[in-house]
Structure 1
Amino acid sequence: MRSWRRLLAVLALAFMATGAQAQERPKIIIDDEGFALMHLMLIESDKVDVVGLTSVSGNVWANRATAMQLKGLEITQDEEIPVAEGATFPLVNTEAMTDRWEALYGKLTWKGAWMKEWVEPTVQSTPAYYGPHDPVELPGGNAKLKKSDEIAANFLIRMVRENPHQITIVACGPLTNLALAQRLDPEFASLVKELVYMGGSLNPRQVLDNVSADEFAREFVNSPRREFNARFDPEAASIVSRAPWPKLVMIPSDPSTGAQLTPELIARMAKVATPEVAEFISGMETGFPMWDEIAAAYVLDPSLETEGDDLYVDYNTQFGPGYGDTLSWREHYQPGLGEQKAHVVRAIDAQKLEAMMVEAMAEGNTAAR
């Protein structure tokens, strides 16, 4: 009788453990060049567990991105999430090379940390220009939180090895950190559960009929394969595209032309968010496409996608007019140089995206009570 009871107890414990494991939230590491709505969507959501942030140079330099991430975690009161600072410079590309490229082949719409002025008048403000090692003083003061002692590439490798096949990486900036991690540890990519990255461009079309949306959509008329994250560090994008990820999802520029951050959406999110988060998002500049937010929403619910494709993808690393451009092939047409097949999200439900953003802010408010 005791043996049967012991067996029943063991089976009950096993069942409980299985149930707990099934309910465990997916682990997420966000690799990006700042702190914005994409971070808030994943951190505030009750559907995933963000276990780390890594910074990289892109829109701003890595040291400023790190400071922004630390400040963001204080705002959300998620101070236990580690922040590891990443690569300051691209693998090969430089500001001087970009200036030379523009002199030869024409002006870029957006240059991120190298941006000094818009080529023509825009509704968006001109960002302040800083050097890569300039001291960082954020508006309202810097966070009291401190960054990790690890550099981002080492942090990524350690976390993936400690949690094999459990971590989804959401990368929404240049892919320098991931390329470095893969070169340091050739098994790195194979131990990740999934990589979802915002980058590359196939054939975007203007969807929203207003001036601010056109500021970004118009560049694709003559340069449909150019996108900032890949253009900032083409060599890193190529390395990542050839790495052996178990699952690779690409969010190109294409769906972003139909999804724009508006004052109305800001107001909807602020209404349901915590007071601290509401104040933060209310100060965001509107009029930009929601590139990164699409990636975050896809991680939370892939049914956001309304049109997709499976393509082999790589990036042009030849210094010429197509430097950094997206290369893609259907099955049988790829050159076979290591490029991996990616699931490409080509269109999304913009209304569902907005609803998911509002829902995530509300979930964060509920969890804070």
Structure 2
Amino acid sequence: MHRRACAALALLVALFLAPVAALAAQAEEGAPRKVIIEDEGFALMHLMLLESRKINVVGITTVSGDVWANRATALALRGLELTDREDIPVAQGATFPLLNSEAATARWEGLYGKLVWKGAWMRDWVEPTVQSTPEYHGPFDPVELPGGNSHLQKSEEIAANFLIRMVHQYPGEITIVACGPLTNLALAQRLDPQFASLVGELVYMGGSFNPQQVLKDQSAAEFAREFENTPRREFNVAFDPEAASIVSRSPWRKLTVIPVDPSTATQRTPGLLARLEKAAPSKVAAFIAGLEPGFPLWDEIAAGYVLDPGIVTKADQLYVDYVTDFGPKYGATLSWHEHYQPGLGERKANVVLAIDPARLEDLMVTAMREGAQRQGN
């Protein structure tokens, strides 16, 4: 009789606790992930994170890289207006790298060879290409975007201070998705040695290990060919190698590196853009329709990883750092397996080496559909 009573009591407790546990698990699983986007502009990567139900973007910080920081800020503000996310603050960050400069890069090219992409310092392509040549601007030129600037205003707070404040406000909860040079993150870490340890995860697009050409399309092949003779050099790191080295040695709770390696199997094709345009809210669809095809999905892989780590088909655990000596390998990626690292503060990272491109593209389309549902389109 006693055993029966105990069994009955245990059953009642289980029946009572099961829904509670299920609700708790549901709440935990359904809670959007807090993300700060750290980048130099506004493109598909931003849209994936802004439109997805899985993500709560709590801020955007900008940095010079593909364009100067002031232009990146203007693009981000207009992007938030486009997506009806005007509540999200945009904090402008570093205009210049810690040490590198346009003049130093020109000197490097004169000594060691031409670079395919130079971002804000880009004046022309080295060889004929299907991609258009970007407009050249100075770092403090007034920004007048085609179609007009946003009515939104940037935050009065600089990016490094914003990053520090947010991770103290939400310790361990924020994922930073960095798809440009790492200058702001390096500055934040130097200002506050606790900074990196308070970030839940840093996912950054940068570095290059051993990328191989996968696609045979002309435009995709052009970008892959860059790495045939310089397999360890990548733009985000090369723009500010000192910042990348500081970030590589900072005490992150979790560090994920998205190098260029998986990007050679991806491409922003007209077909993909058409799928995204069809799924997206009306204003976003118009933006997507104006995007130029032909580029790999560098930053979109980082966003895709945050949305679904299952896109990864090959990864490695490596200690990572970057060359800061001015010479032929300036900005090159360094990596070691356990026991082989120099022991100068390098941090072990989860390095994504290959992904499922079809799964990534499906994620992008799903995010656009969720944005359309949110906006009632």
Scaled by the length of structure 1, what TM-score is found? 0.95
Residue from 183, 188, 199 that aligns with 2:190: 183
Q: For 2:150, which of 135, 143, 164 is the aligned residue?
A: 143
The alignment partner of 1:73 has SS state of: helix
Using the alignment, how far apart are the partners of 1:46 and 1:183 within structure 2? 34
Query: What is aligned with 1:357?
Result: 364
Q: Which runs of 5+ in 1 are unaligned?
A: 1-11
Matched, 1:231 2:238: yes
Which of 31, 43, 50 aligns to 1:43? It is 50
Shift of 1:48: 1.0
Correspondent of 2:122 among 115, 122, 127: 115
- The equivalent position to 2:263 in structure 1, one of 245, 249, 256, is 256
Whether 1:334 and 2:341 are equivalent positions in the alignment is: yes
Q: Does the 8 A contact of 2:39 with 2:62 survive in 1?
A: yes
State the one-letter code of the partner of 2:180: G
Q: How does 1:188-207 map to 2 (within 5 A)?
A: 188-207=195-214
Deviations 1:183-237 (A, max 9, x none): 0000000000000000000000000011100111001000000000000000000
Matches within 5 A, 1:175-324: 175-324=182-331
Larger radius of gyration: 2
Deviations 1:317-360 (A, max 9, x none): 00000000000001000000000000000000000011111110
C-alpha change, 1:99 and 1:47, in structure 2 (3 Å) is same
Please state if 1:96 is matched with 2:76.
no
Say which SS state the counterpart of residue 221 (structure 1) adopts: helix
Secondary structure at the aligned position of 1:128 is classed as coil
Conserved? CA contact 2:35–2:59, under 8 Å: yes
Instruction: Specify the SS of the correspondent of 1:118.
Output: coil
Q: Does 1:165 align with 2:172?
A: yes
Kindly report which structure 2 residues correspond to 1:62-77, keeping only aligned pairs within 5 A, or say none.
62-77=69-84
One-letter amino acid matched to 1:303: G
Aligned partner of 1:367: which letter? R
Alignment of 1:86 with 2:77, yes or no, is no
Secondary structure at the counterpart of residue 300 of structure 2: helix
> Alignment partner of 2:229: what SS?
coil
Partner of 2:36: 29
Quote the offset at 1:16 in angstroms.
Answer: 6.6
Return the alpha-carbon distance in structure 2 between the equivalents of residues 368 and 118 of structure 1: 40
What is the TM-score with the length of structure 2 in the denominator?
A: 0.93
How far, CA to CA, are the matches of 1:222 and 1:272 in structure 2? 39
Residue equivalent to 2:9: none
Q: Look up the match of 2:134.
A: 127
What percentage of residue pairs aligned between the two structures are identical?
70
Amino acid at match of 2:347: Q
Amino acid at match of 2:214: V
Amino acid corresponding to residue 198 of structure 1 in structure 2: M
Provide the rounded CA distance (Å) in 2 between the counterparts of 1:233 and 1:82: 25
Counterpart amino acid of residue 322 in structure 2: Y
Contact 2:31–2:54, Cα closer than 8 Å, also in 1: no
Q: Aligned AA for 2:370? A: E
8 Å contact kept, 2:30–2:54: no
Q: Secondary structure at the match of 1:197?
A: strand
For 1:13 and 1:256, locate their aligned partners in 2 and report how far apart those are by CA, in whole Å: 43
For 2:254, the aligned partner's letter is: K
Q: Which string of whole-angstrom CA distances, capped at 9 and with x for unpartnered residues, describes residues 56-106 of structure 1?
A: 000000000000000000000000010000000000000000010011101
Alignment CA distance shift 1:20-1:227 (3 Å): same
Match status 1:106 vs 2:110: no
After alignment, is 132-141 or 16-25 more displaced?
16-25
Query: 1:154-194 CA deviation, whole Å, 9 max, x = no partner?
Result: 00000000000000000000000000000000000000000
Q: Give the 3 Å change call, closer, same or farther, for CA 318–353 of structure 1 in structure 2.
A: same
1:239 deviates by 0.2
1:20 deviation in Å? 3.9
| Partner AA of 1:357 in structure 2 | M
Superposed counterparts of 1:9-28, under 5 Å:
20-21=27-28, 23-28=30-35
Equivalent pairs, count: 360
Unaligned runs of 5+ in 2: 1-18
**Equivalent residue letter for 2:142:** P
Mapped to 2, the partners of 1:19 and 1:358 lie a distance apart of 24
